[in-house]
């Protein structure tokens, strides 16, 4: 272990942007008016930067005409579509606070968000999968007194809204833009709490515009880049790491499908000659496992972002070799930090891309502390990862006590993640504080076991969780998706594979074969569901 403390900050010769999102878009339009800004593959619709800005302004006029004031909350409850992006930039134009609502929410969750954020105007999809959004809104609307108008994408109400936006509101829009500060709140994103209701992380222009910009800088985005976005817009991955990273560099946003579809994603890359592809590891695994994967021409790709959870080594090797993504980047972050704090660099080796989540972004600080005392750990020692800088949220919307629990008096955001900082400043995430398995007094980090098990020839994907055990407190359960259901994996196979290669206390004592894992909409595996479902105490 190094005596050097687990603290580092991102120095940079590139200054932070002092723009609002609207002003930054204006710069892109002035520089690249005729370049493509947005392509919706399902509908075939396309926008140049000049056309995109005109439609953003049209919607901004419409919102002004409906009486949307600065700091009013406008909800967006929709799947990925061009209208989502227009709402994102139009609300920023007029200083309204866009509230992202998870497309998977059910009525009680939607009611909570509508009330807690005080949403006055809601833009929603008509439906998605089994959700009839109109019926769900009708159920809760009477309980949300501040909700005065609901507009549905693909419905006459959307066209009616746009018709209200007339160019004679130009002066009003100009006046509103002149009243905006880059430090104004512009976005509320609800974090997926595993207990109780989610909290609304409140983010400013400065938070998310700079984070998107520097994420794009680190993968060398230019106006030549075309980015395939299969990740949801409602999450920071889609609206910040994709949309804002792209428009701040003059690139093109490519929507392959309303929600993740591996085939549609690869078709979009091939058709639109995308240079970058986003996803969580499970998305890349699904794409690589398509029976006709080898038939897609992915030669236009050079980079992309993988985030949400650690990437297995074997998956990363295939992404680099077979998807041509030699410069693929790993990002680590959380909604409350806009979201990215750590990122690998385009020339990092395979070990750094799979063994770490990168090093600190420009203008941000990170440290690893003892969770009990708050004291900074020496490098090489595990502790809680904390981050500070321009990216830390303004706070949880109307919840000062919960904000104080997460952000300490020194303005450090406590992530809840267990991490270890190497001597070179790269950070390894060893688990969530709450995911740590303590078996008979031994600390077990699920990530280490998962990484080891990915090398088993029968295993396509694996998640390791701790479940109750009467004697040891907890035992190790491996939840496995096999490559071939006709060739099942047994616990004996698994244990034999681990024997002599993993410490005995880390070897799974239980195995559960699954077809799929419970997932959040943003693509993270819900380990809490696995723990709860299979928590049968052993003897």
pLDDT of residue 372: 81
Residue whose C-alpha is closest to residue 189's, from 180, 197, 181, 198:
198
Q: What percent of the chain has pLDDT over 70?
A: 98
- Is the pLDDT reported for residue 12 higher than 80? yes
What is d(CA 417, CA 434) in angstroms, rounded to the nearest whole number?
8
What is d(CA 66, CA 59) in angstroms, rounded to the nearest whole number?
11
State pLDDT tens for residues 187-214: 999 986 544 678 999 999 999 999 999 9
Are the CB atoms for 458 and 482 separated by under 8 Å? yes
What is d(CA 510, CA 521) in angstroms, rounded to the nearest whole number?
28
What is d(CA 91, CA 69) in angstroms, rounded to the nearest whole number?
10
- Is the pLDDT reported for residue 536 higher than 80? no
Residue whose C-alpha is closest to residue 20's, from 177, 172, 173, 217:
177
What is d(CA 342, CA 361) in angstroms, rounded to the nearest whole number?
6
Tokens of 518: 């419970």
pLDDT of residue 216: 98
pLDDT of residue 539: 44
What is d(CA 363, CA 343) in angstroms, rounded to the nearest whole number?
13
**For the range 125-129, what are the long-range contacts, defined as Cβ-Cβ under 8 Å and sequence gap of 24 or more?**
125/77, 125/78, 125/79, 125/81, 125/152, 125/153, 125/154, 126/152, 126/153, 126/154, 126/155, 128/79, 128/103, 128/258, 128/259, 129/259
- According to DSSP, residue 448 is labeled H
Omega of the bond leading into 412 within 30 degrees of 0 (cis): no
Are the CB atoms for 422 and 428 separated by under 8 Å? yes
61-78 in b/e form (b: 16+ CB < 10 A) is bbbbbbebeeebbbbbbb
pLDDT of residue 522: 62
C-alpha distances (whole Å) from 519 to each of 129, 223, 227, 359, 510 are 15, 34, 24, 27, 21
Per-position DSSP letters for 93-155, written without gaps between them: HHT-EEEE--TT--HHHHHHHHHHHTEEEEEE-SEETTEEHHHHHHHHGGG-TT--EEEETTS
- According to DSSP, residue 316 is labeled H
In CATH terms, 21-420 corresponds, of 3.20.20.150, 3.40.50.12780, 3.40.50.2000, 3.40.50.300, to: 3.40.50.12780
Are the CB atoms for 425 and 490 separated by under 8 Å? no
Confidence of residue 444 (pLDDT cuts 50, 70, 90): confident
pLDDT of residue 193: 53
Tokens of 534: 């299979």
Tokens of 148: 């005065």
User: Strands 413-421 and 226-228, how do they pair?
Assistant: unpaired
Tokens of 230: 């299969």
Residue 511 bridge partners (DSSP): 478
Q: What is Dmax (Cα atoms) for the chain?
A: 76
pLDDT of residue 403: 97
Q: What percent of the chain has pLDDT over 90?
A: 84
pLDDT of residue 195: 46
Cβ neighbours of 516 (radius 10 Å): 9
Q: What is the CATH number of domain 435-533?
A: 3.30.300.30
Confidence of residue 179 (pLDDT cuts 50, 70, 90): very high
pLDDT of residue 84: 98
Query: Which residues 6+ apart lie within 8 Å of 121 measured at CB?
Result: 63, 66, 68, 72, 74, 75, 147, 148, 149, 150, 151
Kindly report the pTM of this predicted structure: 0.87
Q: Helix (H, G, I), strand (E, B), or coil: what is residue 172? A: helix
The mean per-residue pLDDT over the stretch 64-77 comes to: 98
Confidence of residue 233 (pLDDT cuts 50, 70, 90): very high
**Among the ranges given (33-37, 264-268, 438-442), the one the predictor scored with the smallest mean pLDDT:** 438-442
Are the CB atoms for 282 and 519 separated by under 8 Å? yes
Per-position DSSP letters for 170-223, written without gaps between them: HHHHHHHHHT--TTSEEEEEE---SSSS--EEEEEHHHHHHHHHHHHHHTT--T
The mean per-residue pLDDT over the stretch 2-27 comes to: 96
- Where in the chain are the domains? 21-420, 435-533
Are the CB atoms for 246 and 38 separated by under 8 Å? no
**Equal CATH topology for 21-420 and 435-533:** no
What is d(CA 42, CA 51) in angstroms, rounded to the nearest whole number?
19
C-alpha distances (whole Å) from 194 to each of 141, 333, 528 are 26, 18, 8
């Amino acid at each position: 272990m190094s005596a050097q403390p687990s603290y580092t900050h991102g120095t940079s010769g590139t200054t932070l942007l002092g723009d609002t999102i609207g002003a930054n878009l204006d710069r892109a339009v002035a520089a690249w008016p005729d370049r493509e800004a947005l392509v919706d593959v399902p509908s075939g619709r396309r926008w140049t930067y000049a056309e995109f800005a005109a439609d953003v302004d049209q919607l901004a006029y419409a919102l002004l005409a409906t009486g949307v004031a600065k700091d009013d909350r406008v909800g967006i409850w929709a799947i990925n579509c061009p209208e989502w992006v227009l709402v994102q930039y139009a609300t920023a134009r007029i200083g309204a606070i866009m509230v992202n609502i998870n497309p998977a929410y059910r009525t009680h969750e939607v009611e909570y968000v509508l009330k807690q954020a005080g949403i006055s105007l809601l833009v929603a999809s008509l439906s998605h999968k089994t959700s009839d959004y109109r019926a769900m809104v009708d159920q809760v609307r009477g309980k949300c007194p501040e909700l005065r108008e609901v507009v549905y994408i693909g419905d006459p109400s959307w066209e009616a809204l746009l018709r209200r936006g007339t160019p004679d509101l130009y002066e009003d829009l100009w006046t509103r833009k002149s009243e905006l500060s880059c430090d104004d709140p512009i976005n509320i994103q609800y974090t997926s709490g595993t207990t109780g209701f989610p909290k609304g992380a409140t983010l400013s222009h400065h938070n998310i515009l700079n984070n998107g910009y520097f994420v794009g800088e680190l993968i060398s985005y230019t106006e030549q880049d075309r980015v395939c976005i299969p990740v949801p817009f409602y999450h920071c991955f889609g609206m910040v790491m994709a949309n804002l990273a792209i428009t701040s560099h003059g690139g093109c946003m490519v929507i392959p499908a309303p929600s993740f579809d591996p085939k549609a994603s690869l078709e979009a890359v091939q058709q639109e000659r995308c240079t970058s592809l986003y996803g969580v590891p499970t998305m890349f695994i699904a794409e690589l496992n398509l029976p006709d994967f080898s038939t897609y021409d992915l030669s236009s790709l050079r980079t992309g972002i993988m985030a949400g959870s650690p990437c297995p080594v074997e998956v990363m090797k295939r992404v680099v070799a077979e998807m041509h993504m030699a410069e693929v980047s790993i990002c680590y972050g959380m909604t409350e930090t806009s979201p990215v704090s750590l990122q690998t660099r385009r020339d990092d080796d395979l070990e750094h891309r799979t063994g770490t989540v990168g090093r600190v972004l420009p203008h941000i600080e990170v440290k690893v502390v003892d969770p009990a005392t708050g004291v900074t750990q020496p490098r090489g020692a595990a502790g809680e990862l904390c981050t500070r800088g321009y990216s830390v949220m303004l706070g949880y919307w109307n919840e000062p006590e919960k904000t104080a629990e997460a952000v300490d008096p020194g303005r450090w955001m406590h992530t809840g993640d267990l991490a270890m900082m190497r001597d070179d400043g790269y950070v390894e995430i060893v688990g969530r504080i709450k995911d740590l398995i303590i078996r008979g007094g031994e600390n077990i980090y699920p990530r280490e076991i998962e990484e080891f098990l990915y090398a088993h020839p029968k295993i396509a994907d694996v998640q390791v969780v701790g479940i109750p055990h009467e004697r040891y407190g907890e035992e190790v359960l491996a939840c496995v998706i096999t490559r071939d259901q006709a060739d099942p994996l047994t616990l004996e196979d698994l244990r034999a594979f681990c024997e002599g290669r993993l410490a005995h206390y880390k070897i799974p004592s239980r195995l559960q074969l699954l077809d799929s894992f419970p997932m959040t909409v943003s693509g993270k595996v819900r380990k809490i569901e696995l723990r709860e479902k299979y928590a049968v105490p052993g003897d």
